[in-house]
């Protein structure tokens, strides 16, 4: 039976280091491509969904981040009693995923805010409270000193006006 020599370990170590460098380069390249893809998808988004669905994306990404953070907390608790390398890898992967979703959320909130800021002030306030602060209809009506019926009707009109903005060509792209 062949006993490994020290040089064999050195070669393996160098190969692993080289693979790690390649993995890092591939990850950075993938992340760059992913961001470019997301930018293109944001352009296409305006044509593939209505205004309400467009606005609801913020809550979906926000909830996804919350779920992943809860999972991360759970794994960190497990890590306290286990030294498994797999847990450490999962924690690192999950943290990277959360970071990516936070970046996505920031970009999405900025993009959506730029769109709704083109509306008149009452529409901006209502849509912001509903889709950025996740307030109920009752809370919005109370804060704006209007009836819930006014809020619902104004929300419908705000969505129609936002739809026109989303359908308009974007000169920046």
Q: What is the pTM assigned to this prediction? A: 0.65
* Coil, strand or helix at 93: helix
d(CA 88, CA 91): 5
Q: Is residue 135 a contact partner of residue 127, using CB atoms and an 8 Å limit?
A: no
Sign of the four-CA dihedral 37, 159, 60, 65: positive
Return the pLDDT at 76.
87
Question: Has residue 40 got a pLDDT over 70?
Answer: no
Q: Is residue 157 a contact partner of residue 123, using CB atoms and an 8 Å limit?
A: yes
- Percent of the chain at pLDDT exceeding 90: 57
Cα end-to-end distance, the chain, whole Å: 65
d(CA 78, CA 95): 15
**What are residue 120's phi and psi, to 5 degrees?**
-70, 155
Return the pLDDT at 173.
41
Return the pLDDT at 64.
94
Q: Is residue 26 a contact partner of residue 146, using CB atoms and an 8 Å limit?
A: no
**What are residue 137's phi and psi, to 5 degrees?**
-60, -40
d(CA 75, CA 97): 14
- What is the total residue count of the chain? 173
Nearest to 143 by CA among 128, 157, 158: 128
């Amino acid at each position: 039976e062949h006993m490994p020599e020290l040089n064999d370990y050195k070669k393996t170590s160098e190969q692993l280091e080289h693979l790690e460098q390649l993995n890092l380069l591939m990850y950075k390249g993938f992340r760059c491509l992913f961001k470019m893809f997301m930018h293109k998808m944001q352009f296409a988004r305006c044509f593939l969904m209505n205004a309400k669905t467009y606005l609801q994306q913020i809550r979906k990404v926000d909830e996804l981040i919350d779920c992943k953070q809860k999972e991360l907390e759970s794994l960190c608790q497990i890590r306290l009693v286990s030294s498994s390398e797999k847990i450490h890898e999962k924690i690192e992967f999950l943290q990277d995923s959360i970071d990516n979703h936070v970046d996505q959320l920031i970009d999405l909130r900025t993009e959506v805010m730029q769109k709704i800021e083109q509306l008149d002030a009452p529409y901006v306030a209502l849509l912001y409270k509903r889709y950025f602060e996740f307030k109920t209809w009752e809370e919005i009506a109370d804060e704006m000193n209007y009836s819930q019926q006014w809020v619902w009707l104004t929300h419908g009109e705000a969505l129609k006006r936002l739809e026109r903005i989303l359908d308009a060509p974007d000169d920046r792209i």
